[in-house]
Structure 1
Amino acid sequence: MTPAGTRTGQPLPVALLLPGQGAQHVRMAAGLYGHEPAFSAAMDAFFDAAGAEGEALRRDWLAERPRTDMDHVTRSQPLLFAVGHALGRTALDRGLRPTALLGHSIGEMAAATLAGVFRLPDATGLVLDRVRRLAGAPPGGMLAVAASTAEVAPYLRGQVVVGAVNTPRQTVLAGPDEPLEAAGRALREAGFVCRRVPSLSPFHSPVLEPACRGAAERFAAVERHLPSVPVHSAYTAAPLTRSDIDDPGFWAGQPVAPVLFWPALEALLAGGDHLLVDVGPGQGLSAVARRHPAVRRGTSAVVSLLPPRPGAPEADRAGLDAALRRLEAAGHPVVRGPGRTGAPEHSVA
Structure 2
Amino acid sequence: MADGDLRERLAEATAVGDGRAPGVVTGTVANRPRTVFVFPGQGALRPGQGRALYATAPVYRDTLDEASARVGTVHGRQLTSWCVDAEVDPQAQAATEVAQPLLVAHGVALARQLMAWGVRPDALVGHSVGELAAACVGGALSLADAVGFAAERGRLMGTLTAPGAMLAVRGADEQDVAALVAATPRELAVAAYNGPGRLVISGSPDAVEGAAEKLAGLGAAVRPLRVSHAFHSPLMEPVAQALADAAHALDVTAADLPVMSTLTAEWQPRMDPVHLREHALRPVLFGRAVTRLLDEGYDTFVELGPDENLAGPIRAAAVHHRATDADGTTAGAPRAAKSTDIETGTDIGSGSRVLVVSAPGEADRAGAAKASSPGGARELLAMVGRLWVRGVTLDRTALDAGRRRVPLPPYPYQRRRYWPDTAAHGLLHRVTWQAAPLADDAPAGPVLVTGVDATAVREVAERFAGRGVEATTDPGAVAAQTVILLAGPAKHRTAAEFERLQRRWVTAFREALALFDRAGARRLLVVTRGLPFFTASSA
Equivalent residues, number: 334
Which amino acid in the other structure matches residue 254 of structure 2?
L
1:303 paired with 2:326, answer no
In structure 1, C-alpha distance between the alignment counterparts of 2:79 and 2:150, rounded to whole Å:
13
1:66 is matched with which residue: 88, 91, 95? 88
TM-score, with length taken from structure 1: 0.88
CA separation of 1:103 and 1:4: change in aligned 2, threshold 3 A = farther
What secondary structure sits across from 2:92 in the alignment?
coil
Query: 2:390 — aligned with what?
Result: 330
- 1:181-210, CA deviations, whole angstroms, 9 ceiling, x for partnerless residues? 111111112222211011111011110111
2:250 aligned with 1:226: no
CA distance in 2 between counterparts of 1:167 and 1:108 reads: 18
Contact 1:78 1:127 in 2 (8 A): yes
Match of 1:140 in 2: 164
| SS of structure 1 residue aligned to 2:214 | helix
Q: 1:170: how far off? A: 0.9
Deviation at 1:211, TM superposition (A): 2.1
In the TM superposition, 1:47-62 aligns within 5 A as 47-53=68-74, 55-62=77-84
Return the offset for 1:321: 2.1
In structure 1, what is the equivalent of residue 268 of structure 2?
Answer: 240
Matches of 2:233 and 2:196 in 1, distance apart?
20
Amino acid at match of 1:64: A
| Shift in CA distance, 197/10, structure 1 to aligned 2, threshold 3 Å | same
Residues in 2 aligned to 1:314 and 1:127: alpha-carbon distance in whole angstroms = 23
Secondary structure of the 1:214 match is helix
Q: Is the 8 A contact 1:36 1:338 kept in 2?
A: no
Give the AA of the match of 2:51: A
Residue 345 of structure 1: aligned partner: none
Contact 1:43 1:86 in 2 (8 A): yes
Deviation digits for residues 323-348 of structure 1 (CA, Å, limit 9, x no counterpart): 0110111122324697599xxxxxxx
Contact map agreement 2:360 2:374 (CA 8 A) in 1: no
Q: Aligned pair 1:88/2:111, yes or no?
A: yes
Structure with higher RCO (Cα < 8 A, 6+ apart): 1
Give the conservation status (yes or no) of the 8 Å contact 1:29–1:306. no
- Structure 1 distance, partners of 2:66, 2:133, is 14
1:188 is matched with which residue: 216, 226, 247? 216
Call closer, same or farther: CA 1:255–1:320 in 2, change over 3 Å. Answer: same
Note closer, same or farther for the CA distance 1:152–1:226 as it changes in structure 2 (3 Å cut): same
Larger radius of gyration: 2
- Identical aligned pairs, as a percentage? 29
- Aligned partner of 1:78 among 79, 83, 101: 101
Report what 1:17 is aligned to: 38
Structure 2: which 5+ residue stretches go unaligned? 1-25, 323-340, 343-347, 364-369, 402-539
Residue 166 of structure 2 aligns to a residue in which SS?
strand
The separation in 2 between residues aligned to 1:239 and 1:290, in whole angstroms, is: 21
Distance 1:52 1:191 in 2: 44
Distance in 2, Cα, partners of 1:185 & 1:251: 33
Q: Could you say which residue in structure 2 is the equivalent of 1:344?
A: none
| 1:255 lines up with 2:288 in the alignment | no
- What amino acid is the match of 1:139? P
Report the RMSD for the aligned CA atoms in angstroms. Answer: 2.4
SS of the aligned residue for 2:279 comes to coil
